[in-house]
Amino acid sequence: MNTRIGITMLALCIAAIATAAHAQTFPNRPLRVLVPLAAGGGMDSVTRNVATSFAGALGQSVVVDNRPGAGSLVALEILAEAAADGHTLMMISATTVIYPLLYTSRLDPARDFAPVSQVTAQGYALVVHPSLPAKSVLELVKYAKANPDKLTYASSGIGSPIHMTTELFQIATGTRLTHVPYKGMGAAYADLVGGRISFSFATIISSQGHIKNGRLRALAVSTGKRAPAMPDTPTMAEAGVPGVVVVNWYGLIAPKATPKAIIDRVATETAKAVKAPAMMKHLIADGSEGVGSTPAEFTAHIRAESAQWRRVIKQGGIKAR
Domains in the chain with CATH codes: 30-120+248-316 (3.40.190.150), 123-221 (3.40.190.10)
Q: What is the pLDDT of residue 1?
A: 53
Looking at per-residue pLDDT, the higher value among 14 and 164 belongs to: 164
Three-state secondary structure call for residue 222: coil
Rounded distance, CA 309 to CA 98, Å?
7
Q: Decide if pLDDT at 18 tops 50.
A: no
Q: What is the pLDDT of residue 5?
A: 53
Q: What is the pLDDT of residue 315?
A: 94
Rounded distance, CA 200 to CA 219, Å?
11
Looking at per-residue pLDDT, the higher value among 140 and 18 belongs to: 140
Q: Which of 159-168, 222-231, 281-290 has the lowest mean pLDDT?
A: 281-290
- Three-state helix/strand/coil letters over 122-162: EEEEEEECCCCCCCCHHHHHHHHHHCCCCCEEEECCCCCHH
Three-state secondary structure call for residue 249: strand
How many Cα neighbours within 13 Å face the side chain of 113?
A: 34
Q: What is the pLDDT of residue 231?
A: 92
In this prediction, residues 271-293 reach a mean pLDDT of: 90
Q: Decide if pLDDT at 107 tops 80.
A: yes
Q: Decide if pLDDT at 270 tops 60.
A: yes
Query: Are 122 and 286 a contacting pair, CB within 8 Å?
Result: yes
Rounded distance, CA 5 to CA 17, Å?
18
E strand or H helix at 289: strand 288-290
Q: What is the pLDDT of residue 170?
A: 97
Which residues make beta-bridge pairs with 248? 122
Percent of the chain at pLDDT exceeding 70: 92
Confidence band for 19, pLDDT divided at 50, 70 and 90: very low
Q: Which of 70-74, 115-119, 259-263 has the lowest mean pLDDT?
A: 70-74
Rounded distance, CA 33 to CA 52, Å?
11
Q: 247-255 and 113-128 as β-strands: parallel, antiparallel, unpaired? A: antiparallel
Q: What is the pLDDT of residue 241?
A: 97
Confidence band for 164, pLDDT divided at 50, 70 and 90: very high
Phi, psi of 221 (to 5 degrees): -115, 155
Q: Decide if pLDDT at 13 tops 50.
A: no
In this prediction, residues 122-133 reach a mean pLDDT of: 95
Q: Decide if pLDDT at 92 tops 50.
A: yes
Confidence band for 106, pLDDT divided at 50, 70 and 90: confident
Three-state secondary structure call for residue 89: strand
E strand or H helix at 298: helix 295-316
Confidence band for 7, pLDDT divided at 50, 70 and 90: low
Q: Where are the alpha helices (DSSP H) in 134-292?
A: 137-146, 161-173, 185-193, 204-212, 260-274, 277-285
- In one-letter notation, the amino acid at residue 309 is W
Q: What is the pLDDT of residue 204?
A: 87
Q: What is the pLDDT of residues 53-91, one digit of tens each?
A: 999 999 999 999 999 988 899 999 999 999 999 999 999
Confidence band for 206, pLDDT divided at 50, 70 and 90: confident
Angle, alpha carbons 179-235-142 (nearest 5°): 50
